Amino acid sequence: MEAKVWREMGLTDREYELIKEILKREPNYVEVGMFAVMWSEHCSYKSSRAVLKKLPTQGPHVLQGPGENAGIVDIGEGLAVAFKVESHNHPSAIEPFQGAATGVGGIVRDIFTMGARPIANLNSLRFGDLEKPRSRYLFNGVVNGIGWYGNCMGIPTVAGEVYFDNSYAGNPIVNAMCVGLVKHGDIARGVAAGKGNAVMVVGARTGRDGIHGCTFASEELSEESEDRRPSVQVGDPFMEKLLLEACQELTAKNLIVGMQDMGAAGLTGCVCEMASRGGTGMNIDISLVPRREKGMTPYEVMLSESQERMLIVPRAGSEEEVKAIFSKWGLEAVVIGEVTEDGLLNIFDGEEKVACIPAAALTKGCPAYSPEEREPAYLKEVREIDSGKYSFGNWNKALLKVLSSPTIASKKWVYRQYDYMVQTDTVIVPGGDAALLRVKGTSKALAVTIDGNGRYCYLDPFCGGAIAVAEAARNIVCTGARPLAVTDCLNFGNPEKPEIFWQFRNVIEGMSKACRVLETPVVSGNVSFYNETAGEPVFPTPTVGMVGLLENIEKRCKAGFSGEGDAVVLLGESKDELGGSEYLKIMTGLVSGKPPVIDLELEKAVQECCLKLIDQGLVSSAHDCSEGGLAVALAEGCIIGGRGVKIEMISDLNPAALLFGESQSRILLTVPWEHISKAETVSLDLGVPFNILGRVKGRSLTFIVNGTKFIDLEVGSMEREWLEAIPCLMS
Amino acid sequence: MKFGVVVFPGSNCDVDVYHVIKNVLKKPVEYIWHRDQEIDGFNCIILPGGFSYGDYLRSGAIARFSPVMKSVEKFASQGGLVLGICNGFQILLEAGLLPGALRGNDSQQFICDDTFIKVENESCPFTIDCAQDEVLKIPIAHKDGNYFAEASLLRELEAKGQVVFRYCDHEGRVSREANPNGSVGNVAGVCNESGNILGMMPHPERCAEELLGGEDGKKIFKSVLKWWEKRGGRRGS
């Protein structure tokens, strides 16, 4: 075989030699294709594996950690939550609607493959500045695609985040997360077991779309990427809705040994992963796979990433019952082979054997790399700033400007296009900190959120990684729920560049430390490298999806200020930290300075304190103080709650840092006066700074510092700027 | 009084309607698979929201050919109560059981949001628990909810009290600003001449519990129960 063949598929010469050693012969074309997709960075984690081991994955609630289609966490009463996040950045960059839609479709299948019913979708998105037509095109297409797929499936899209920065102009970030609910007894896994058991392909027919999708995900975007449009899969949410209902019937009737979504690497990925997990092999005849196109070669069938398909291994003797269920939903279910004991994947096309590979060679045979690392040179330049220099004086204007920057502004334009109410469980709707979903038939509720800040990670990867976890947890805590576990999506540039890998390792170490301190293990996730355009990487952008549990839904807490006259209290401390802030970027265009430091022990204490205060019924609202700083948190509390506040503070911080600095570990509360001393005692016992800033009052945000009125704005006028910013740019 | 909730392939609010009837109102309810034609024994049939057949071709255009629709038609012609919510409304229009049509929202976008609707006809079986001109807060979630009827038809519907709901603001003003999707005359729901078939775009099942931010939607279901009780359990209007 010519070297060109494997190189074009993304294999190195050394990897090709290794394949020859494993097979003890030259691989054929189909086999090279199968190795190439499974050994791609996207599927094999060959560069990231060693570093990912640093993340904690164990915990008392964890029923299923990384390595399956999704992680699963116990929530008591025989119930569990399955969740995972995944990237679809590259497909979305060239075909935003289908790219984002199939991102949702893929992650939803990962959840119901585990036997869970999907109850919520979330997403984390990054685009270039909205002034640019291309950013608007991508933003609009992605939001449309996400809505189209999730709405049709009847899964509410309840939370998310959107950032705009030119670092993402060429390579947007589209991370989709899904959360499902499952009874312990119904948990399914992607395992092929039981010699002689049938192997069935169910759902949609196989076409030529998405071939080498995961190889495409493992290279940088360039001028030629547009030609990759055929590598983008095409979604059919109606088909997937039928598939979901049929699969739910399968698990309810206990008809399966294992099942797996055909996602990245299609049929190849499914057969080798299921066999490898079960320590088994499979004989497969691909001439039996239902096609939607004529003349497909074995190579194309094995590598197609056509959507809405699953591979299942039914319990012996239940094949006909499985077929009947699928037929009721108008779907095909076809036996294409059987489970064997020899650990080999024997792929036939009718009589002819077209491939023979040990399953484990595809899933575990890929060499792990330890890429070179180097601290990026830019860090020294960007770190030093003097925040005093950036006080512009007219604070009313500054606040309105920050509120109307697309990153800070209301995302109602986005979530209004998502059905966030279907299934009638959304008790706290999008627009606050985390969303809260009731669990019908219990008194429990689940809080869900997704968070990350690429700017912080660019300026200090370790710190940014830790903050991503801390902030997600803080969002959860503000609803009254206790954080349970994490799913992470790690979006980085090309890991072959030492600077990128240095960023990657440091972010993981920061996340790892925060996960340990906050006791939130990572149960699932996804790495997305090669997020670069024309050699320019995106900011290192980990996004952290988190699920929390509130045992008693009656104790839930909302973000909007309520209770006229209540005290406005800040837990935690504001410091002279303007570095990496949204304010600095808006006012100067600079992404510079040191991002806020994070003391994880204090963070833990602040969160414990907030949970305790909510649990004891001492607060009337709780809101995370993060991007945009104290002034923005106050404005949001006012707008969401429809009330004003009067703040009177004594402070020697420079005003810009006081108003807009993004110091960590801060939560804004409103506390009825009759509870104030009790609340203060709780806080001080936990060593958490407790400062009364003012009270809920009237219809304006008034902010007085050292006797000088810095801000005096009507809630209505702030709300207009905040609500209208994105619709204005998009119309 | 027994409710039946039709399940088309792609329905996704079937479970929500079922939940409200069973767990909130605590009344008997069963699902009806779209291939079933046997619907005797039900007193009110609900066509729920969702994306029947993926809304491919046109919202509701394929579902109207489901076998169950023949039975629904017969049931309705005998005075049986039929409520179509969102996609169910679209199906009723496609089936010709209600007048008018639904087009794409004027914004071209899917919209999920709370809306206020004014009860313009409080005497049909689905609204008798409401007061005249009462303002209800009920959410919408649709892309094709832009109601259209020719001017003459609209006048006729208005004259006969068939315009049951109109979008309004929280104080009941029927204005352009309060119209979320471009519907003519802010129409949010219409009934047939005899009042036993209602189609509405807002989702009453989504606001039938205080926990979800309001209970106004419950009034639609309670009206049906009240009407049924008043008539001593007889069909016809």
- Binary contact (B10, A151; C-beta < 8 A): no
ipTM entry = 0.96
A88 a catalytic residue: yes
* Dist CA A237 CA A567 (whole Å): 48
- Binary contact (A417, B9; C-beta < 8 A): no
A28 belongs to a structural domain: no
| From A9-23, A60-74, B56-70, B214-228, the region with the lowest mean pLDDT | B56-70
Closest listed residue to residue A199, CA positions, set A307, A113, A316, A290: A316
A50 belongs to a structural domain: no
A629 neighbors A584 (Cβ within 8 angstroms): no
Picking from A410, A413, A424, A439 by the largest number of B CB atoms within 10 A of its own CB, the best residue to mutate is A424
> Which residue ranges in chain A fall short of pLDDT 70?
213-218, 223, 225-231, 385-388
* Residue B144 belongs to domain with CATH number: 3.40.50.880
pLDDT by residue (tens digit) across B77-88? 999 999 999 999
* Dist CA B190 CA B207 (whole Å): 20
Closest listed residue to residue A426, CA positions, set A451, A448, A450, A410: A448
Picking from B5, B11, B12, B87 by the largest number of A CB atoms within 10 A of its own CB, the best residue to mutate is B12
* Residue A627 belongs to domain with CATH number: 3.90.650.10
Judging contacts by C-beta atoms under 8 Å, the chain B residues touching residue A236 are 54
* Dist CA B43 CA B183 (whole Å): 31
A369 belongs to a structural domain: no
* Cross-chain CB nearest to B212 (options A329, A419, A424): A424
Q: Is the pLDDT of residue B60 over 90?
A: no
What pLDDT shows up at residue A384?
73
Q: What's the domain count of chain A?
A: 1
- Angle CA(B17)–CA(A107)–CA(A472) in degrees, nearest 5? 90
Crossing angle for the helix pair A133-153 and A715-730, to the nearest 10 degrees: 100
B237 belongs to a structural domain: no
Judging contacts by C-beta atoms under 8 Å, the chain B residues touching residue A424 are 16, 19-20, 205-206, 209, 212
A61 a catalytic residue: no
Domain of B200 in residue numbering reads as 3-230
- Binary contact (A152, B139; C-beta < 8 A): no
Amino acid at A729: L
Judging contacts by C-beta atoms under 8 Å, the chain A residues touching residue B10 are 152, 238, 241-242
Distances in Å between the alpha carbon of A614 and those of A170, A507, A554, A555?
43, 32, 11, 7
Helix or strand run (H / E) with residue A602: helix A600-615
- CA-based nearest residue in chain B for residue A420: B112
- Binary contact (A419, B50; C-beta < 8 A): no
A121 belongs to a structural domain: no
Domain of A600 in residue numbering reads as 557-731
- CA-based nearest residue in chain B for residue A418: B112
Q: What's the domain count of chain B?
A: 1
Which burial class, exposed, middle or buried, applies to A674 when counting CB atoms under 10 A from its CB (0-12, 13-18, 19+)? Answer: exposed
A478 belongs to a structural domain: no
Task: Identify any residues that bridge with A352 across adjacent strands, giving them in sequence order.
Answer: A349
Q: Mean pLDDT throughout B189-215?
A: 97
Q: Which of the four pLDDT bands, split at 50, 70 and 90, describes residue B234?
A: low
Q: Which of the four pLDDT bands, split at 50, 70 and 90, describes residue B237?
A: very low
